[in-house]
Amino acid sequence: MSARLLAVNVVHELIRGPTRWTAIDKRPVIGPVAVTELGLAGDEQCDTRYHGGPDKALYAYAEEDADWWSVELDREIPPGLFGENLTTSGLDITGALIGERWRIGGPKTGILVEVRSPRDPCGNLSARMGIPKFHRSFVATGRVGAYLKVLSTGTVRAGNRITVVHRPSSGRTVGEVSTRA
pLDDT for 181 equals 55
**Dist CA 167 CA 174 (whole Å):** 13
pLDDT at position 45 is: 84
> What is the pLDDT at residue 49?
72
CATH number of the domain bearing residue 109:
2.40.33.20
Q: Which domain holds residue 76?
A: 3-180
What does the pLDDT read at residue 1? 64
How many separate domains does the chain show? 1
pLDDT, residue 59, reads 97
pLDDT at 122: 86
What does DSSP assign to residue 128?
A: H
What's the Cα-to-Cα distance from 65 to each of 95, 98, 106, 132, 167, rounded to whole Å? Answer: 11, 18, 25, 20, 21
What are the residue ranges in the chain where pLDDT is below 50?
none
